Amino acid sequence: MTFTEYFPIETFDALVIGAGGAGMRSALQLTEDGHKIAMISKVFPTRSHTVAAQGGVNAALGNVTPDKWEWHMYDTIKGSDFLGDQDAIEFMCREASEIVRELEHFGVPFSRLDNGKIYQRAFGGQSQNYGEEQAHRTCAAADRTGHAILHSLYQQNLRLGTTFYDEFYAVDLLKNQDEEINGVLVMNIHNGEYKILQSPHILLATGGAGQVFRNNTNASINTGDGLGMVLRAGYPLQDMEFWQFHPTGVSGKGMLISEAVRGEGGKLRNALGEAFMEKYAPRVKDLASRDVVARAIAIEVNEGRGCGPDKDYVLLDISHIPNEIITERLPGIREISQTFLGIDPVKEPIHVYPTCHYMMGGIPTNIEGQVVSPDQDGNQQPIKGLYAIGECACVSVHGANRLGGNSLLDIVVFGRKTARTIHETLQKEPPQTELKLNLTPVVNRLNRWLKKAEEGSTDTVTQIKKDLQLVMERGCGVFRDEPTMQKALVELDAIQARLEKVCISDFSNVFNLERLSAYELENLITIGYATVVSALARTESRGAHSRVDYTERDDDNWLKHTLYFQDNHKLTFKPVNLSPKHHAMVKPKPRVY
């Protein structure tokens, strides 16, 4: 069989693709505003990766230490190594207190202080009064804050009756005869049937793509599906060289050990027993920004002070923290440590090493959540009908390095904001008449995976994915330089050539997970290219992008965002926004902790 250009069609006011915290917050708003929407998710909503967020969500509530949104804004800009857009960061930090209280009203079971208010813990890169004393800004539900938020948002969506398409996979964006985005082709994973969901407003909330690296904290579903769709539609990705390597992943495996452990007093130690962060960040030590701590650990290990038979990890020591604090505030961490390392952190330190955690780059958007792309004169223009939020988007509030506790904030702030943008547009515009969609590219793509393997070919989608992850880890990890990245680029070409040849062997229709991983692999490889090409171009070190051959930040040449296009791997650039509306600009200066 082959696919022809006929699929059943359903129409909606708006589509939300991805049921993590960002998508779920948007869907809630759009449903509440009375719109006919569909929430499309490749897994049952509470399986989305927001569920794994541990430490908390930042807001200057001031429940524990004095706080102001202005200080939060300053810390976020400094944390971003000045690449974050200051108007967007300002907006997010101003919204934070209200949106966290709104989450509390939705039922999130935040931990509490004795006075009944929301508990806030210390996290890396947070200060009072523009860089002075440590702030306690991260609102936490023990060390399961993401789970608590995701489940509460799902529950509120159940209350309002949001329409869910669970276990549906979004294959590609569809354009109409005017080259405008006007629908999505989706596959029902339960039976392999495809259908067109048509809508004038499509919101991508598809999450990150940490699966592009071998060692990562991400769920296996984090394959950057929204990013692949956007690149294939001809639009760019922004700042893809910036990947956060979380300092404390379970050594050799990658599961996340929350920054909350250090926030509650945990100390990193090397094989000599030294609390080595004192060398790298004399003032704030273990609570420096994540990029700083990740590099410090990598240096300790590279210089031979790692622990274990292969000297390939460091220790995270919490043995001095009282048992009841660990039981009350870090129960999930204790469970992960016992399950995956066989270590009870109450008695023995946890073995940790940096692991790929978060994608600062993504689909470029403005504060309204509209996807933007440069026109012929280089001006950023919104793409009609296309929106992106959460980790898949780059608005950019995280710049070159995200602060812990800011991603849960990002998803709810821009989730709500973008739903409001869509609501306002829907009120102004008359309902759309049905338009003809161009299905040729996506039909070719579907048919390509119906090919049968040639005699003797043994390559598989799984093997290509493993090789891709290894290429990315070796070629574009915590430390980078020109020769290793050039080599990675050559290896990516070989992987791309294999992708074009490989065939799947399962042609069934019900839960065909091989076909699903083939679609996902196409997305991952495009993300690999976007990362390496952008990282090669940026000849400076900034935030999470550490070049051994260009060790300094270079504001004269590189205080700008990278835009990567799939066509010929073209790069263009756009300026960083330095014009917040309610606060003076935070001037770039050397970043020390």
Partner 1 sequence: MKFIISRYNPEIDQEPHEQTFELDNALLSSDSMLLDALHLLREQDSSLAYRSSCQEGVCGSDGINVNGKNRLSCVTSLSELGQTVTLRPLPGLPIIKDLIIDMTLFYKQYKAVKPYLETIPLDIEHEHLQTPEERAKLDGAYECIMCGCCSTSCPSFWWNPDQFAGPAALLAAKRFVVDSRDIKHIDRLKELDSPTQTFRCRHIQNCTDACPKGLSPSRAIQELKSIMVKDL
Q: Which stretch binds partner 1 (CB under 8 A): 82-90, 154-162, 238-246, 476-484?
A: 154-162
Helix, strand, coil proportions of the chain in percent (round to 5)? 35, 20, 40
Nearer to partner 1, 401 or 469 (CB): 469
List the structure tokens of 179. Answer: 């080259």
CA within 13 Å, CB half, 37 = 31
Q: Which of 319, 447, 462, 579 binds partner 1 (CB under 8 A)?
A: 462
The neighbouring-strand residues paired with 443 are none
Cis bond leading into 396, ω under 30°? yes
Q: Which of 36, 68, 117, 569 binds partner 1 (CB under 8 A)?
A: 117
Q: Which of 30, 73, 173, 221 binds partner 1 (CB under 8 A)?
A: 221
Does 346 sit near partner 1 (CB under 8 A)?
no
* Per-residue contact flags (x/-) with partner 1 for residues 242 to 281, judged by CB under 8 A: -------------xx-------------------------
Q: Which of 504, 524, 525, 563 binds partner 1 (CB under 8 A)?
A: 504
**Residues sharing a CB contact under 8 Å with residue 280, sequence separation 6 or more, in sequence order:** 288, 292, 293, 295, 296, 299
Does 52 sit near partner 1 (CB under 8 A)?
yes
Contact, 189 vs 168, CB < 8 A?
yes
Nearer to partner 1, 253 or 583 (CB): 253
Choice among 25, 121, 214, 290 that is catalytic: 290
Number of residues that bind partner 1 (CB under 8 A): 60
CA distances from 283 to 134, 164, 287 (A): 10, 49, 9
Q: Give me the residue label for tokens 């590219």.
A: 441
Give the DSSP letter string of 180-191: -EEEEEEEETTT
- Closest contact distance (angstroms) between CB of 511 and partner 1 is 4
Q: Which stretch binds partner 1 (CB under 8 A): 66-74, 335-343, 361-369, 486-494?
A: 335-343
Q: Which stretch binds partner 1 (CB under 8 A): 155-163, 298-306, 524-532, 548-556?
A: 155-163
Does 407 sit near partner 1 (CB under 8 A)?
no
CA atoms of 61 and 300, how far apart (whole Å): 37
List the structure tokens of 471. Answer: 């290429």
Does 104 sit near partner 1 (CB under 8 A)?
yes
Nearer to partner 1, 205 or 281 (CB): 205
List the structure tokens of 494. Answer: 């070989």
The neighbouring-strand residues paired with 58 are 138
Q: How large is the greatest C-alpha to C-alpha distance in the chain, in angstroms?
A: 71
**Taking CB under 8 A as the criterion, which residues in 167-196 touch partner 1?**
190
Q: Which stretch binds partner 1 (CB under 8 A): 78-86, 104-112, 317-325, 557-565?
A: 104-112
Helix spans in 106-211 (H) = 145-160
Q: Which of 9, 105, 344, 582 binds partner 1 (CB under 8 A)?
A: 105
The answer to whether 305 is a known catalytic residue is no
- Closest contact distance (angstroms) between CB of 482 and partner 1 is 34
Does 115 sit near partner 1 (CB under 8 A)?
yes
User: How many residues in total does the chain contain?
Assistant: 593
Q: Which of 223, 460, 523, 546 binds partner 1 (CB under 8 A)?
A: 460
CA atoms of 186 and 575, how far apart (whole Å): 36
Q: Give me the residue label for tokens 């040729």.
A: 440
Nearer to partner 1, 273 or 308 (CB): 308
The radius of gyration of the chain from alpha carbons, rounded to an integer in Å, stands at 23
- Closest contact distance (angstroms) between CB of 453 and partner 1 is 11
474 phi and psi, to 5 degrees? -75, -35
- Closest contact distance (angstroms) between CB of 11 and partner 1 is 25
Does 457 sit near partner 1 (CB under 8 A)?
no
Per DSSP, the three-state class of 358 is: strand
Does 43 sit near partner 1 (CB under 8 A)?
yes
**Taking CB under 8 A as the criterion, which residues in 127-146 touch partner 1?**
141, 144
List the structure tokens of 253. Answer: 């495996």
Strand 380-388 to 370-374 pairing: antiparallel
Helix spans in 33-124 (H) = 69-79, 86-105
Q: Which stretch binds partner 1 (CB under 8 A): 33-41, 106-114, 176-184, 450-458?
A: 106-114
**Catalytic positions, written as ranges:** 290
Question: Which chain residues interact with partner 1 by CB under 8 A?
Answer: 43-44, 46-49, 51-52, 98, 101-102, 104-107, 109-118, 141, 144, 147-148, 151-152, 155-156, 158-159, 190, 219-221, 255-256, 332, 335-336, 339-342, 460, 462, 504-506, 508-514
